[in-house]
Structure 1
Amino acid sequence: MIISILMLASGLTILLTAAHVIIPGTISVAYYFRVPAHVVAVLLIAAGTSAPELIVAIQAGLNGTPQIVWGNIIGSNITNILVVLSIAGLFFPIATTDTQTKRDMILLLAISAIITISAYYFSALPLFVSILLVIILACYTLYLVRLKPDEEEAEKNTEGAELSFKRSLIYCIAGVAGLVFGADLMVNAAVDLAVTLSISKAVIGLTIIAFGTSLPEIAAAIASLFHRRVDMALGSIIGSNIFNIVAGLGITRLVSELPVTTEILVTGIPVMILSTLILALLIFFKQPLGKIISVCFLAIYCLFLWLNLAIGI
């Protein structure tokens, strides 16, 4: 137990340190490459923190456990909105008028609709849909790297660019690696503690692991808000959800069949769509995600966990 506690503390230290360095690194990289910081947040933080979900999805697909693939991707997207943004919103009201964030939100709604229709109509993710998702991934990435910052964004990046180019890259790479490694260390330690305390595996999976895999996004989002970069906080979360779907489901389906289980159809997809729609309404109508909405989001997430436990997922 003592070793687990030390691992938990070490993981938290690594996570916080990584969150502290990755935001200034990201802003500086955006300045040197003359792109919006939002773009670097999506391509680096979102894609980087989504890498574990992609690896888990591919491994689960190859092992013949599609329910884990769907549960991992859908669960991660739900947690990112209902938990990550809610925790960040308890500290800072989150609101944006950023045009790019709205465009990303439209894309997230579109691809969420695509996989929802596929799941309910085909009871699986067809191969042609996965090919479409991979094409969307390629086009979206190409679109992002071609974006240029406006005058206000360029001024923000200039003010925040306090690092050399080399140090900026080191901060970004080390930051992403630290977020992922620190979270993994904390999850493993928490699972060991839970097993020692005789907590059931179902509860461990639905709470510790589900929450733990979103720790990088939580740390990055709060760090972004501390630096007054709401665009980066929202960009990393929305971008992470986009990459989860187009890469996690799209690429995995290329190597394995992905039939949908009843549990995913009953609770997973409906809650994902509901949370995504609510976030979209907040963004499009310029409503801040403050303490009250954050508490409501967390309440919905708790209800989601309770439903999963009740039906025995």
Structure 2
Amino acid sequence: MDALFVLLGLILLIAGGDFLLKGSVDLSLRLSIPKIVVGMTVVSFATSAPELIVSLQSALQGFPDLALGNVVGSNLANLGLVLGLTLLIGALDIRRSFYFVDWPVMMLASLLSYVFILSDRMLGRTEGIIMVVALFIFLIYLLRYQKPAITEVPQEGVNILPLYKTVFFLLVGGVALWGGSEILISGAVGLATRLHISERIIGISLVSVGTSIPELSASVMAMIRQEKAISVGNLIGSNIFNLLAVLGITAIIHPIHVIDEHLVTVDLLWMLGISFLVLPLVFFPKGQRLNWKDGLILLAVYATFIFTTFS
């Protein structure tokens, strides 16, 4: 029954994330926002919504390791699993902003989260406020300084939905995310108890992979449609949102106290490692490009992480 709850919760989260994604992207098209900005903001926020709802509900219900493990595991899955699989479909050309904005901000957010949690094994309201403020500063910079520098591809053949459909997608998506998170947490905690494994392991593997499916779907579809700007921006942006928005907002509402030390001594270090790994993969051997070989490396790193987690 617990496994069924997990499955049902994931289905609702995926459906809710997809509805929210459709509504959000349509809204951004109405506002004529450039595609790369859509990827770094609108799509990233929509695809991070499952992580936010699950982590917030987990913390409020007294399962802090599930809340933190979900975010750390999702960031690992975004770069190791999602980016790895995406690169098997096709190569990605890396924009200049990756070196000077996207990757540095992701690394700074990762280091900031690690330092905050390392100091006292908790993420409190003050740290949460700092993280959310940092996110707003990043978004203001992105929208103000990067938007004029982008050469936009004409939006030919794009059909904007009627307004009532946009509102419907946003509302149904939000309700599905909330209901899915309640069912998923109930099933995940029950499954962890039944199998005698920690909430951390369930959160960092099963739950995090489930909540990363919207990122996988968005990235794969972006590659198929040749919307590579959205694909790169979505993954980097989602990791930034997961750390600064999901952990930040959760900590403000309910401080996160780490119970399982492995989250600090092992999992967060894996997250920092794979986040850093993306940079040398971009530079070598030719630079400014990621291909299927890089995808295999990322998948191998992620598989190793999962194997060591359960061993």
Shift of 1:107: 1.0
Partner of residue 68, structure 1: 66
- Evaluate the alpha carbon distance shift between residue 157 and residue 22 of structure 1 in structure 2; reply closer, same or farther with a 3 A threshold: farther
Please give the per-residue CA displacement for 1:202-248, whole angstroms capped at 9, x wherever unaligned. Answer: 88766543322211111100111122222210111111111111111
Quick one: which of 79, 97, 100 aligns to 2:95? 97
Shift of 1:110: 0.7
TM-score by length of 1: 0.75
- Evaluate the alpha carbon distance shift between residue 151 and residue 163 of structure 1 in structure 2; reply closer, same or farther with a 3 A threshold: farther
Contact 1:102 1:284 in 2 (8 A): no
- Evaluate the alpha carbon distance shift between residue 69 and residue 294 of structure 1 in structure 2; reply closer, same or farther with a 3 A threshold: same
Quick one: which of 133, 138, 157 aligns to 2:154? 157
Matched residues in 1 for 2:123 and 2:231: separation? 30
Partner of residue 301, structure 1: 302
Shift of 1:171: 10
Shift of 1:113: 0.8
Partner of residue 233, structure 1: 231
- Evaluate the alpha carbon distance shift between residue 178 and residue 122 of structure 1 in structure 2; reply closer, same or farther with a 3 A threshold: closer
Please list every run of 5 or more consecutive structure 2 residues that lacks an aligned counterpart in the other structure: none
Shift of 1:70: 1.3
Shift of 1:75: 0.6
Please give the per-residue CA displacement for 1:137-168, whole angstroms capped at 9, x wherever unaligned. Answer: 222333344456457632x1344645478599
Matched residues in 2 for 1:169 and 1:204: separation? 34
Code of the residue aligned with 1:118 in structure 2: it is F
Alignment of 1:158-307 (within 5 A): 158-159=155-156, 161-163=158-160, 166=163, 169=166, 173=170, 207-260=205-258, 261-283=260-282, 286-307=287-308
Partner of residue 39, structure 2: 41
TM-score by length of 2: 0.76
Contact 1:180 1:216 in 2 (8 A): no
Please list every run of 5 or more consecutive structure 1 residues that lacks an aligned counterpart in the other structure: none
* Corresponding pairs, count: 298
Partner of residue 117, structure 2: 119
Please give the per-residue CA displacement for 1:169-203, whole angstroms capped at 9, x wherever unaligned. Answer: 5798599779979x98xx89x99xx99xx9x9988
